[in-house]
Amino acid sequence: MPDVLKNDRFLRALRREPTDTTPIWVMRQAGRYLPEYRTTRERAGSFMGLAQNPEFACEVTLQPLARFELDAAILFSDILTIPDAMGLGLSFAHGEGPQFARPVRSAADIAKLAVPDMDGELRYVMDAVRLIRRELHGRVPLIGFSGSPWTLACYMVEGHGSKDFATLKSLCWNEPKITHQLLDTLARAVAAYLIAQAGAGAQALMIFDTWGGLLGPAPFREFSLRYMAQIVADLNADPVSRELPVVLFSKGAGAHLHEMADTGCAALGVDWTIDLADARRTVAGKVALQGNLDPAILRASPEVIRREARVVLDSYGNHPGHVFNLGHGITPEVDPECVKLLVDEVHAYGRTLRAG
């Protein structure tokens, strides 16, 4: 029996329909700034232990919703589950970023990669989606997600985090054919992964292209956008996932919003370097927008947080199609009370905006 959704503000905003106020969720809303997250992570023993256990993943997904009036839940997982399932051996050392035991470097490494089995290596993700949907009881919609092929390739080729992911960028210039082979395999994997999440009960889908902004205009089109467009086309061709709005978020790629809006996605995530009024004009009513408070503002005083939240809401203005979010993930030092006052301010001022 499918649940009746009690709060559909987020989905309505993604469809650019009117809402009583502006919906809000926060990238990385289940994370280390919450003491209860740190406690569960301790019990799980490691980040992957947390993400691969559906009960733990469900528990931490729901933690921020118990504290704040958020309008969406996001599956607790990571974008690097796909490369891990491809056999690269993912681990997270405490306080450090991701690490692959077997990074992908050569043509032979890339030729060996296969789309993982969604009912095999990645079944734990679908089990988590099913469990979270059940435990949400229709309170808010559940977002499923994946990394973009480009962003996944950044980590797979480098083997760990980096400021510039120079190893993949060299591969683009030196071995474009092999790079495309890698990105094509990843695009097929991401589409299958998101379709499986939709089948398991996700109600919206988001693609994180965290490192798209490292590329110049032509390489962005060739190595990032093209594969995201292919995935959106695959999602829109599947009878289950075609019903779900898709959000594309390329950080630092504000110059490409007009092209991204033409992919067939429902919404674009926007980082804080872009004025939402400009972004709204650029996408010309084709898509909704999600964003874009600078996460660093959550470390300021309550008055500044409230004021800057209103600046973001005013920049979008009284139009349908805005989902409030940060321009990137929340950081571990943030005081949870600051998230509470942000959520409450967005809802209160969003109502005022609509009252004209």
- How many residues contact ligand CP3, by CB under 6 A? 21
Min. distance of Cβ 144 from ligand CP3 in angstroms? 10
**With respect to ligand CP3, which residue has the nearer C-beta, 58 or 353?**
58
Side chain identity at 274, as an amino acid letter? I
Cβ-proximal residue to ligand CP3, closest one = 210
- Spell out the residues 6+ positions from residue 301 whose beta carbon is closer than 8 angstroms to its own: none
Q: Pick the stretch among 30-38, 166-174, 270-278, 314-322 that binds ligand CP3 (CB under 6 A).
A: 30-38
**Candidate segments 71-79, 124-132, 175-183, 194-202, binder of ligand CP3 by CB under 6 A:** 71-79
- Residue 141 interacting with ligand CP3 (CB under 6 A): no
- DSSP class per residue in 259-292: HHTTSS-SEEE--TTS-HHHHHHHHTTSSEEEEE
| 211/349 with CB nearer ligand CP3 | 211
Pairing mode of beta strands 98-100, 90-92 = antiparallel
- Note whether 161 binds ligand CP3 by CB under 6 A: yes
Pick from 10, 56, 68, 145 the residue near ligand CP3 by CB under 6 A. 145
Single out the residue of 19, 21, 29, 263 in contact with ligand CP3 (rule: CB under 6 A). 29
Q: Which stretch binds ligand CP3 (CB under 6 A): 74-82, 101-109, 184-192, 339-347?
A: 74-82
Binding of residue 68 to ligand CP3 (CB under 6 A): no
Q: Is 41 a catalytic residue?
A: yes
Q: ω into residue 292 within 30 of 0, thus cis?
A: yes
Question: In whole angstroms, what separates CA 153 from the centre of its chain?
Answer: 16
Of 11, 14, 24, 27, the residue at the interface with ligand CP3 (CB under 6 A) is 27
Q: Is the Cβ–Cβ distance between 179 and 223 less than 8 Å?
A: yes
The DSSP secondary structure of 301-319, one letter per residue, reads -HHHHHHHHHHHHHHH-S-
Residue 190 lies near ligand CP3 (rule: CB under 6 A): no
Among 9, 16, 41, 286, binds ligand CP3 (CB under 6 A): 41
To the nearest whole angstrom, how small is the minimum distance from the Cβ of residue 225 to ligand CP3?
Answer: 17
**What span, in angstroms and rounded, lies between the C-alpha atoms of 70 and 24?**
6
Selected from 98, 252, 291, 350, the binder of ligand CP3 by CB under 6 A is 98
Choices 12-20, 29-37, 179-187, 214-222 (CB under 6 A): range interacting with ligand CP3:
29-37
Say if residues 148 and 212 touch (Cβ distance below 8 Å): yes
Closest CB to ligand CP3 among residues 317, 332: 332
131 binds ligand CP3 (CB under 6 A): no
Going through the chain in order, the beta strands assigned E by DSSP cover 73-74, 90-92, 98-100, 142-147, 204-209, 246-250, 267-269, 288-293, 322-326
Residue 317 as a binder of ligand CP3 (CB under 6 A): the answer is: no
Is 221 in the active site?
no
Strand ranges across the sheet with 246-250: 73-74, 142-147, 204-209, 246-250, 267-269, 288-293, 322-326
Q: Does the active-site annotation cover 262?
A: no
Query: Both ends of the chain: CA-CA distance in Å?
Result: 40
Q: Which positions are catalytic?
A: 28, 32, 41, 78, 155
